[in-house]
Structure 1
Amino acid sequence: MTNSETRPLLQWSAAMAMSGTIGAVVLESGAAAPAVAFARCFVGGALLVLWCLSRGWLRAWRPSRRDLGLAVLGGLFLVGNWVLLFASYALSSISVSTVVYHTQPLVLVGLAAAFLGEKVAKSHLARAGIAFGGVALISLSAHGEDGKPVQLAGIGLALGAAVLYAGASFVAKQLKHIRPHLLAAVQTTVGALVLAPLLLVTPLPTTTSGLLWLVLLGTVHTALMYVLMYASIGKLPTTTVALLSYLYPVVAVLVDIAFYGHRPSWPEALGMLAVLAAALAPRRGKPAAQDKPADRPPAGERVS
């Protein structure tokens, strides 16, 4: 493997591994979900704006009203998905929320069928049935770190986050002509503006450690992660991207087990495998596309 192939492989792998530790950072910050999402938007968005300015992308951008409106709408979906996902961690567990969240790609295909008239293959319907059967199995058998059954509200929030992220991805499909770094900078800026008033109700942490966890989330798990993902995805085959994306939920489960004492039961583990196998499996019937570099992270693989 040449250096030109190794570098993007390592960049994408690092980004997926970072994604798997987001839940731990959120819990360790001790902040409420809206405050965490604001910090991520504010810190990460500011760094992404600086990155785009340094590259000259922002100064040269002249968006149409349609593009700007869609970018704002996508930003609202993206930030809403973060708030729901972060809130779900405390009501279920990092691993359960993350795995349930990975139903996003299946939801996105459903949205594309409903609004763009794209045909839904029978294989997709089968995968959707398997995935949501896995969610049901997790709901009935999963336990939180206190040993008690997870709250269904936590799973519901994770599913809601998946729907909102699928909506953000659906909007992003209409904005493929915009540089993804630039779109991310705009959407996180929108998120910071929308979430700022909520700090009156859910303030930022008052402890130094809590604030440092949020700074880490904004710098490493947002700005750096976006740069790594977008620097690598266009240079990797779609099949490689899909395979390495398993790192995200796998790392999340391992972190949950190692640091939060989560012990998945056999039914829960089976449900998790069903969701991941169904949601992350490559589509059938498009072999030629599997050898082409992906131009943008697939739904559920960009940023959690």
Structure 2
Amino acid sequence: MTNPESRPVLQWSAAMALSGTIGAVVLESGAAAPAVAFARCLVGGVLLVVWSLARGWFRDWRPTRRDLLLAVAGGLLLVGNWVLLFASYSLSSIGVSTVVYHTQPLILVGMAAMFLGEKVGRSHLVRAGVAFAGVVVISLSAQGDDGHPVRFAGIALALGAALLYAGASFIAKQLKHIRPHLLAALQLTVGAIVLAPALMFTPLPSTAPGLLWLLLLGTVHTAVMYVLMYASIGKLPTTTVALLSYLYPVVAVVVDMAAFGHRLTWPEGLGMLAVLAAALAPQRTKADMRNAQPGIPSRASR
């Protein structure tokens, strides 16, 4: 391939496809959400620290006190987002939780308007209304992997995760001057420290398969995925990133149906399309283009 965008496209596509399989790995591990998030932080954080050290990125890094405080705050929101999202899978389904979770870019725009005074265009208000309607339809019509209606608690947890992720992205926008690999390594370290006490109540799996699933999550679905995202995000147009970000929820829904037997009803499918169309629609204004798209880590990551 001679197109200069070919490599970044493949890297970003691979990262989005990996994101879509996270839910399956979480459920297969059999561990509670806090333990899964801890393992992801520990394994992924160690690998990212080693990667950054090998690249020499720590050598000249002199973070200010403000940077450290913001990074820690963003890390707490990021890790909290994982705990809520992972917990939502078993209460609804992987596909439902992932699609509802993709309301986060709309929430982020609202935060920018509230705290930074950025103007919210009419198109964003329309998309937000469509997405909200889609969530309502999903809540009323979707079925869980057990064949019963999804629990509202699962929808609420996914929305809570979206809110926390939007907050983490909002803070990350204030730390654009920090290399994303370093920021991610720091935040994952914070997450591992904060979640360690939770292991007294939600221990790690006692079986080898369960531990191997968590090892896979920390290595491939965290460290490798972060490297792929950060290697490609700055080299692709926003429209390309937004389009390829559809892979994340689409893969999650396909995996949910293929591996866990989730049956997609037509109202549920319609609600999912409404949420994704509203959240992933290409932005038209310069102000909108500055706002994070789903799948764009904004120096934080899913």
Q: Which amino acid aligns with 1:194?
A: V
Distance across 2 between alignment mates of 1:244 and 1:299 = 10
Q: Which amino acid aligns with 1:121?
A: G
Equivalent residue for 1:59? Answer: 59
Equivalent residue for 2:136? Answer: 136
Q: Which amino acid aligns with 1:137?
A: V
Instruction: Name the TM-score, length of structure 1 as normaliser.
Output: 0.96
1:264 aligns with 2:264: yes
Equivalent residue for 2:197? Answer: 197
Q: Which amino acid aligns with 1:140?
A: L
Distance across 2 between alignment mates of 1:203 and 1:146 = 25
Q: Deviations over 1:76-97 (max 9, x none)?
A: 0000000000000000000000
CA RMSD of aligned residues (A): 1.5
8 Å CA contact 2:108–2:292 kept in 1: the answer is: no
State how 1:260-299 maps to structure 2 within 5 Å.
260-286=260-286, 298-299=293-294
Equivalent residue for 1:92? Answer: 92
Equivalent residue for 1:103? Answer: 103
Describe the shift of the 1:297–1:2 C-alpha distance in structure 2 as closer, same or farther (beyond 3 A).
farther
Dislocated runs of 4+, deviation >6 Å: none
Q: Which amino acid aligns with 1:238?
A: T
Q: Which amino acid aligns with 1:144?
A: G
SS in structure 1 of the partner of residue 145 of structure 2:
coil
| Structure 2: gaps (5+ residues) | none
Equivalent residue for 2:224? Answer: 224
SS in structure 2 of the partner of residue 267 of structure 1:
helix
Q: Which amino acid aligns with 1:166?
A: A
**1:116: Cα distance to partner?**
0.5
Distance across 2 between alignment mates of 1:30 and 1:147 = 20
Identity %: 78
Describe the shift of the 1:213–1:297 C-alpha distance in structure 2 as closer, same or farther (beyond 3 A).
farther
Q: How many residues in Structure 1 have an aligned counterpart in Structure 2?
A: 299
Q: Which amino acid aligns with 2:141?
A: S
**1:59: Cα distance to partner?**
2.5
8 Å CA contact 1:142–1:268 kept in 2: the answer is: yes
Q: Which amino acid aligns with 1:219?
A: T
**1:2: Cα distance to partner?**
1.7
8 Å CA contact 2:242–2:294 kept in 1: the answer is: no
| Structure 1: gaps (5+ residues) | none
Distance across 2 between alignment mates of 1:119 and 1:80 = 28
Q: Which amino acid aligns with 1:217?
A: L
**1:233: Cα distance to partner?**
1.0
Distance across 1 between alignment mates of 2:206 and 2:197 = 17
State how 1:1-304 maps to structure 2 within 5 Å.
2=2, 4-286=4-286, 298-302=293-297, 303-304=301-302
Q: Which amino acid aligns with 1:72?
A: V
**1:112: Cα distance to partner?**
0.5
Distance across 2 between alignment mates of 1:171 and 1:14 = 26
